Structure 1
Amino acid sequence: MPAAEIAPDARSRIPDPSLPAVKHNPRMPQSPPSFRAALLAPQHWPAWIGLGLIRLVALLPHRLLLRLGRVLGGFTARVLGERRRVAARNIELCFPQLEPDARARLVRENLRDSGALLVEFALAWMGSRRAIERIPVVFEGLHHLEQARTGGHGVLLVGAHFSHLELCARLVSQRIAIAGMYREHADAAFEWAIKRARLRYADAMFEKNELRQTVRYLRAGGTIWYAPDQDMRGKDVVFAPFFGVPAATITATHHLARLSGAKVMPFFHRRTAEGGYVIRLEAPLDAFPGDDVVADAARVNVCIERMVREAPAQYLWLHKRFKTRPPGEPPLYDS
């Protein structure tokens, strides 16, 4: 299926003296982080060893990487007992209608898929441009983005934590200029290397607390990929249903759209049985944001739930999505 072409960005601006305009033409790249000699200190050596392994893995062909991922997934399924229990509990909560045998199969498939997560991250971060261009990918709905950008609107692509999220972000960056939001890594050397790698294909990378910079970028007509489907245990959360279970849900989608005037578009991706990828952009959510932040959070969760149902084995069930409970409700995990 031929992918639609993206028209040049409109350049209108939303004036605001507190948030000066940022040029977007259409790329607005951040400068890569500067290297510091302190990153070579012994406490960072494990990170450098890990980065070296990631680099070696990224040199392998994509199909071989996926086979390697299945092998790694089979290994992790045996050794990650705690994460296996988390995945099993999440799937039990979200798919109570499934028979126990079907849920057990889904858990096994999901743990095997976790191996693909490891190698796909490596390819996204360290893979060459030629390697990325060889990956089979089908784009759907790019015309929605073209339409949303008319009038200079920014776009917030709302996705979810599937195993291939980083690789699909790089794949979509071949067609459109995007930025991302992320959490800073605890190790400074790893943070330096991965942010530098991401900025090879992303306009910018905003940390989760860089709200003003994110809003400026959106107001300048930028497009940001964002996944609000993890339990962040912060103050800016509300409880909204996810598969019928009250889940602590980040309110940033509502606030970013309200402050920036950006359109909010569901952004879905899945791996095919043949080893390629389908990346789909849907029409912007109508009348979003609304006046009710909880209702908006519920709308976002409905979108993500629909995505998960299309490829449940590829979702990150290893995360304790329901760790934070509403006041007075018992925990849903053993620990």
Structure 2
Amino acid sequence: MPVVFQFFSVFPLWLLHIMGAAMGWVAFVASATYRRRFLANVALAGYSFGAVRAAVAHAGRMVTELPRLWLGAPMPCRIEGEACVEAAYAAGKGIVYLTPHQGCFELSAQAAARRWSAERGPITVLYRPARQAWLAKVMETARNRPGMLAVPTTLAGVRQMIKALRRGEAVGLLPDQVPPDGQGLWAPFFGRDAYTMTLAVRLAQQTGAAVVLARCERLPWGRGFVTHFEPLAEPLSDQIDVAVVQINQAMEHLIRQCPEQYLWGYARYKKPRADAPAAAAEVPA
């Protein structure tokens, strides 16, 4: 499989996206479970299927662009909202980048690393290692790109993130990812309670880091991407349950800016895993 990934990594982006769009629709038609979840999540957010039907194809594009994203030449990505990132770095407390499962979300960290890592240090990103050995190795290699350090969802990984923030560097997380049991709180997300990680809030509260929202929008016909950065609308509450709600509202805000590129088929409302490997339920001192 690594050879397959390497093979597709040299394909032009427009061709990968054509293949991905077809793959997305095949998955939507073939899997009743996926289709029901997709439609239920869309309806919960107040959209009709017609309004976001493009998200079916974008889910497939997200998959087929991975070989290029992980192993290929850097993909073209324009940045908007540089000023808020510069202001956050100038405060000297580090940055917690938060992005939902939207567009090419991994590229947002790559784009930020290309723009700021030489001057401000690397971006440390949290990821969940794959269960398949070959994929875990590919992910580890691909995500540790120049200007980026990928750490696993373990206590050791969280400690590395805290150290990075205390050095004034940046870290990146996907706060709409369902954490293991004991590492989150139930909080509203598009009007329905979803188990939501507390790690993003604890990192910001403990270190004083600035929270910067990011979303990476996929441009049509393989023309590249645009990563948008913006500050959190208001400072995080000192109360963790209130702050977790703020983070969910911030993710909703980003998703509504480009709902046709959100991963609506993601099982956002599932119960957390009870048998997950130990990670950081609490941020260590």
TM band (smaller chain): 0.7 to 0.9
2-structure distance, mates of 1:237, 1:285: 22
In structure 2, list runs of 5 or more residues that go unmatched: 118-122, 273-285
1-structure distance, mates of 2:219, 2:234: 30
Greater share of residues in strand: 2
2-structure distance, mates of 1:119, 1:234: 31
Q: Which residue does the alignment assign to 1:70?
A: 21
What's the secondary structure of 2:188's corresponding residue? strand
C-alpha contact 1:254 1:297 (8 A) present in aligned 2: yes
1-structure distance, mates of 2:37, 2:208: 38
CA offsets per residue over residues 79-105 of structure 1, 9 Å max, x none? 23221111111112221xx4xxx32x3
2:3 to 52, 57, 60: 52
What's the secondary structure of 2:116's corresponding residue? coil
1-structure distance, mates of 2:68, 2:270: 31
Task: Give, in angstroms, the shift of residue 303 of structure 1.
Answer: 0.9
What's the secondary structure of 1:179's corresponding residue? strand
In structure 1, list runs of 5 or more residues that go unmatched: 1-48, 326-335
1-structure distance, mates of 2:176, 2:248: 8
What's the secondary structure of 1:238's corresponding residue? strand
Task: Give, in angstroms, the shift of residue 233 of structure 1.
Answer: 4.1
CA offsets per residue over residues 177-215 of structure 1, 9 Å max, x none? 222111111123321222112112343112122221110
Give the 3 Å change call, closer, same or farther, for CA 68–145 of structure 1 in structure 2. Answer: same
> Equivalent pairs: percent with the same residue?
26
Q: Which residue does the alignment assign to 1:92?
A: 43
- Letter paired with 2:187: A
What's the secondary structure of 2:266's corresponding residue? coil
2:149 to 204, 222, 229: 204
1:249 aligns with 2:189: no
- Letter paired with 1:63: W
- Letter paired with 1:263: A
Q: Which residue does the alignment assign to 2:230?
A: 282
Task: Give, in angstroms, the shift of residue 304 of structure 1.
Answer: 0.6
Give the 3 Å change call, closer, same or farther, for CA 85–109 of structure 1 in structure 2. Answer: same
Runs of 4+ with >4 A deviation:
none
Larger Rg: 1
TM-score after normalising by structure 2? 0.85
Give the 3 Å change call, closer, same or farther, for CA 151–320 of structure 1 in structure 2. Answer: closer
Q: Which residue does the alignment assign to 1:117?
A: 62
C-alpha contact 1:84 1:111 (8 A) present in aligned 2: no
Q: Which has the larger displacement, 69-78 or 239-248?
A: 69-78
Q: Which residue does the alignment assign to 1:10?
A: none
Size of the aligned set, in residue pairs, is: 264
TM-score after normalising by structure 1? 0.73
CA offsets per residue over residues 192-241 of structure 1, 9 Å max, x none? 22211211234311212222111011111111121110222421211221
What's the secondary structure of 2:162's corresponding residue? helix
